[in-house]
Structure 1
Amino acid sequence: MRNTSFFKIILLAITVVFFVSCDKDFNTIGGDLIGDEHFGLVHDSINVLSYNQKLDPVASNNLPVNPLGIYEDDVFGTTEANFVTQVVLASVNPTIGANPEIDSVYISIPYFSKFTYTETGDKKYELDSIFGNPEGKIKLSVYRSGYFMRDLDPLTGFLETQKYYTDQVSAFENLIVSDRLNNKDDDPSQNDQFVFSNKGFKDSVYVNGVKTLQLKDPEMRLMLDKAYFTDNILKTASGNLASNDVFKNYFRGLYFKVEKSGASPGRLAMMDFKKGTITINYKEDLVTTTNGQSTTTRVAKSIVLNLTGNTVSLLTNTKKPAYDTALNNPNKTLGDSQLYVKGGEGAMTVLDLFDKTDVKGYDANGNETVGMNHIPDQLDELRRKDPVTGKSIMINEANLVFHVDTTMGATKIPNRIYLYDLTNSTTIVDYLYDGTTGTNAKNGLLIYGGNLRKNTAGDYFYKINITNHIRSLVKNTDSTNVKLGVVVTENINNSAMNKLRSSFTLTDGKVISKVPQAAVMNPLGVVLYGGNSSVPDKKKLKLQIYYTKPN
């Protein structure tokens, strides 16, 4: 009997400790909103007003990565992505000897790739960030550009960076100053039938005078016109190579132009052009004198040009009719049933998290506000304090879940979307408070979310955590319920903003002049279900809130 009582006491003590610990952890979440009372968990699913917003030409100079190629999407249409870059000398003012003659000149730009396995001594690779039919080809032409790209904008008194926009294709094409430089006629894969190949390279290099083979990962490797670079680099006036300021004005840059290759469906790759180089391998005379007798020998030398100057991504879009109609006729009152979200010169979604019903409301003390200007009714209900305890509710979790409309048949669904404070063109607090970082652009900020996911029913969706954003709205009754924006993203860690050529105005009169830079880089698009009443309830965009009320 005594032992039984003892074990009962021990069991009771463990139980008390367990529940006290659990209660402490539970109340830590959102502890700034409520004390240590016990709560009952409540789940609300709130409709969200959401509609399409067309994005006009946007500044696309000096992006971290750029699309190049042709991408055809069954929903959005065709995107042609051209590219322009300045060219600079890796080493300025090179000394070029007598009788220079080029052995080879080529451009090399690495692809995003990963090693997969080795087969019979050869490394096999898989290309990353490449879209379209695996058999797709494009017609690729590289020209010398005569367009001088300024660093600073004279219209701002040279105080701001000069901006170049996605729609300036004709401005650059009208100033092409050479024939096609990648003119190797006996190899159409270099130009008229170019393919993004996953094959590595074996280059011959000299190390301490010994010729060895150097293995290189997959890259764009184009042989260029030797005669052109002889005349315009090796035999140009030495003053043109004296400094990079002079050289950028002299040589200017390269224009990468893409076109359809016959009936091929085309293909597009994301590329880091700033890692690209032009290598000019040549021989020149070396004269040595021994005992008064001169001897001339041919020596091998090289000049390297880097693609690290100013750049601009140029986009041409041919829209599908349904997509074009949706962008030009958004329902800003009831919301759109289908939300088109596309990168580049594309489309975004505008969100208003709470209904604008103006029937009644409550102030911070729970008193009804009649005939007064007040915050939206649903948000009022969340903010209203309990009339007995005087306590606010505690927000445990809040999410936005976007269901993908797979019936539209988009060719490729983006891996991630990005939700931000559209009103102020900045991040939301949950983005800043995430605390998780990834090793690359794809896997950071996992708590904040936005990754493409798939449920047990096989449906695709994106889920974004906005718990702290909603907590702030509920707790701070004077805070503004800002509009939110949704775009595709190429890099979740990049929250920079780029200027639109033409701004747009929200329903509350706010003028928006910027969009996320990471959306400008991404060529993909996705169709999401909106919050319109015509959308089936299980697919409808809603704000999911889990909260507890004080007892």
Structure 2
Amino acid sequence: MNFKFNSGSTSSNRNNHFFLLVSIFSIIVIVFTNCKNDFDKVGIGLIPGSEILELFSSDTTTVLVHSVFADSVKTDNTATSMLGSYLDPIFGLNTISIATQVRLSTVNMNFGENPELDSIVLVMQYSFYSLPNFQPVYYYGDTATTQTIKVFELDESLYYDSTYYSNSLVATKSTELASMDINFSPRDSIMIDSVKVKPQLRIRLNDEFGNNILNAPASVKESNENFQDFMKGLYIKPEPVANNGVIAFFDLLDINSCLNLYYKNDEGDAKMYSFLINAACARYMNFTHDYSMGDPDFVAQLNGNHDLGKEKVYLQSLGGVETRISFPYIKDWFKDQKIVINEAKLVFHNVDTNSIYKPPHELVYYFVKDDGTLGFIEDQFEGVSYFGGQYDKKKGEYFFRLSQSLQKIMLGEKENTVFTMGISGASLSPTRVAFHGTWPNDENLMNKRIKLQIKYTKLTN
């Protein structure tokens, strides 16, 4: 196929000519990128020889980055719930609590004549979350850490049709229903009455709470509405750890997750009644972060010292930390030049690839609109293999391709805006990562600095 271009001398024709060349290059670059061919030769045979000056590459474009507090994230009615506390040497103290309703398994329940309480036990089925490669993750942190888990009765109703966020608060009664020192064991089966069952966390609640339910008026047992007005739910809260720590995963929708009341009556036999935690129960997670216990440079950056982004920048899920990115001089750098971007690749290197706190599998990248909301960028629509964002464990790095977006900025078709980067699935997994910044003090780390790698073609006409 041959392309012919009008060589008219008017400014309008020259601009149209340039835009057409850019369009051709943009299409070619995307196709060849997905095929993983050599960028230096992309499209050469399709552009007249007189149009091409040279092929260039650069990684010295100014990139400004700094980390900021992230917005809260929606945490209600998730398939998997998290619980625990861990003290991160960089990110400080992080704690996750759970609030949930419970329901009757049968209405008009009858405990018989003269019921007597044996015990009441909260059961939570351990679970995991799956990485995109289907590898299960059972915990985050150090399971050797002993944690104190406390349980309280809610003093405020939850509503299934309401939205709850990671910073949502709910009132609880002052009396502790339980305080138990545990080591999370998400992969260890346990024995219940000589029967081996899947791994689960079992917390015995105090007898007074059990007797209140056992001896509640008959009207309380007539419907779930009445019962949930009488007992609004439970709040499961870890005490902050002094060191190390771990977050465990639970499936509150599993049939084994429930509130079991053990009793006997005049019939003499031991009995059990299960209150359900199921999909009809409102539930959410609360995330708290005490960054004052983190690395001083990390804290200073969050508090406004953006210059520290030259050394390191940070990301944390759980409504924690995100990173702002801009290319303030990208248009000036190519001023009075006609260039086509073959590839623009933004690269980040993990500071500590051996940390017990594993980095996120995937990051997200958006542009920030004037009203503060987020928008997609053009390159995202080419798919993950092109756009990037996934962790390369061997290289210890992430990248994003921004070729189309930056080309539009240079053409004046799009404002040179601020971008933001965060963690995918921020309400579902407790991951975090620190990156080497744009200009580390240690010269040996300059090859791991954040950089925008641009491959581009200069056009003569």
**Per-residue displacement from partner, 1:145-182 (whole Å, max 9, x unpaired)?**
21333567xxxxxxxx45455274xx64xx32533336
Amino acid at match of 1:481: N
Give the distance between the partners of 2:319 and 2:30, measured in 1 at CA.
40
Give the distance between the partners of 2:238 and 2:269, measured in 1 at CA.
39
What is the aligned partner in structure 1 of residue 300 from structure 2? Answer: 325
What is the aligned partner in structure 1 of residue 312 from structure 2? Answer: 338
Amino acid at match of 2:417: V
Q: How does 1:240-251 map to 2 (within 5 A)?
A: 240-251=220-231
1:149 aligned residue (154, 158, 175): 158
1:196 aligned residue (185, 205, 208): 185
Question: Does the 8 Å CA contact 1:88/1:305 hold for their aligned counterparts?
Answer: yes
Give the distance between the partners of 2:343 and 2:265, measured in 1 at CA.
71
1:266 aligns with 2:284: no
1:75 aligned residue (90, 94, 98): 90
Question: Does the 8 Å CA contact 1:74/1:410 hold for their aligned counterparts?
Answer: no
**Per-residue displacement from partner, 1:373-425 (whole Å, max 9, x unpaired)?**
xxx324656xx64xxxxxx72x4433211022339x96524133332223332
1:111 aligns with 2:126: yes
Deviation of the 1:352 alpha carbon: 0.6
Deviation of the 1:135 alpha carbon: 1.6
What is the aligned partner in structure 2 of residue 422 from structure 1? Answer: 368
What is the aligned partner in structure 2 of residue 180 from structure 1? Answer: 177
Amino acid at match of 1:347: V
Question: Does the 8 Å CA contact 2:101/2:233 hold for their aligned counterparts?
Answer: yes
Give the distance between the partners of 2:304 and 2:151, measured in 1 at CA.
39
2:205 aligned residue (224, 240, 258): 224
What is the aligned partner in structure 1 of residue 453 from structure 2? Answer: 544
1:528 aligns with 2:408: no
Change in 2 beyond 3 A, CA 1:336/1:464 = same
Amino acid at match of 1:267: V
Deviation of the 1:139 alpha carbon: 0.9
Change in 2 beyond 3 A, CA 1:256/1:299 = closer
Count of aligned positions: 405
Question: Does the 8 Å CA contact 2:158/2:283 hold for their aligned counterparts?
Answer: yes
What is the aligned partner in structure 1 of residue 167 from structure 2? Answer: 166
Change in 2 beyond 3 A, CA 1:67/1:422 = farther
1:305 aligns with 2:320: no
Q: How does 1:268-307 map to 2 (within 5 A)?
A: 268-275=247-254, 276-283=257-264, 298=269, 300=271, 302-306=273-277
1:449 aligned residue (372, 384, 388): 388
Amino acid at match of 1:322: D
Question: Does the 8 Å CA contact 1:131/1:269 hold for their aligned counterparts?
Answer: yes
Amino acid at match of 1:325: A
Amino acid at match of 1:94: M
Aligned to 1:89, the other structure's residue is in SS state coil
TM (normalized to structure 2)? 0.72
Deviation of the 1:141 alpha carbon: 1.3
**Per-residue displacement from partner, 1:488-519 (whole Å, max 9, x unpaired)?**
34x3xxxxxxxxxxxxxxxxxxxxxxxxxx1x
What is the aligned partner in structure 1 of residue 59 from structure 2? Answer: 45
Aligned to 1:109, the other structure's residue is in SS state strand
**Per-residue displacement from partner, 1:168-216 (whole Å, max 9, x unpaired)?**
4xx64xx32533336xxxxxxxx12443352113556xxxxxxx95x54
Give the distance between the partners of 2:184 and 2:31, measured in 1 at CA.
57
Give the distance between the partners of 2:249 and 2:419, measured in 1 at CA.
28
Which structure has the greater CA radius of gyration? Answer: 1
Question: Does the 8 Å CA contact 1:330/1:336 hold for their aligned counterparts?
Answer: no
Deviation of the 1:454 alpha carbon: 4.5
Gaps of 5+ in 2: 1-23, 33-41, 130-134
Give the distance between the partners of 1:540 and 1:68, measured in 2 at CA.
35
Amino acid at match of 1:178: T
Give the distance between the partners of 1:522 and 1:230, measured in 2 at CA.
37
**Per-residue displacement from partner, 1:12-47 (whole Å, max 9, x unpaired)?**
xxxxxxxxxxxx999644479989437775433253
**Per-residue displacement from partner, 1:249-293 (whole Å, max 9, x unpaired)?**
3211111122257x76432224444543223354556xxxxxxxx
Deviation of the 1:306 alpha carbon: 0.6
What is the aligned partner in structure 2 of residue 495 from structure 1? Answer: none
Give the distance between the partners of 1:352 and 1:451, measured in 2 at CA.
21
Q: How does 1:368-447 map to 2 (within 5 A)?
A: 376-378=331-333, 385=338, 393=340, 395-406=341-352, 411-416=356-361, 417-423=363-369, 424-434=373-383, 445=384, 447=386
1:463 aligns with 2:399: yes
Give the distance between the partners of 2:60 and 2:77, measured in 1 at CA.
38
Give the distance between the partners of 2:346 and 2:417, measured in 1 at CA.
15
Give the distance between the partners of 2:402 and 2:27, measured in 1 at CA.
19
Change in 2 beyond 3 A, CA 1:99/1:349 = same
Give the distance between the partners of 2:108 and 2:402, measured in 1 at CA.
55
Give the distance between the partners of 1:473 and 1:31, measured in 2 at CA.
21
TM (normalized to structure 1)? 0.62
Deviation of the 1:447 alpha carbon: 4.5
Give the distance between the partners of 1:346 and 1:451, measured in 2 at CA.
20
Amino acid at match of 1:323: F
Change in 2 beyond 3 A, CA 1:547/1:240 = farther
Give the distance between the partners of 1:302 and 1:426, measured in 2 at CA.
50
Change in 2 beyond 3 A, CA 1:41/1:222 = farther
**Per-residue displacement from partner, 1:103-122 (whole Å, max 9, x unpaired)?**
554323232359xxxxxxxx
What is the aligned partner in structure 2 of residue 256 from structure 1? Answer: 236
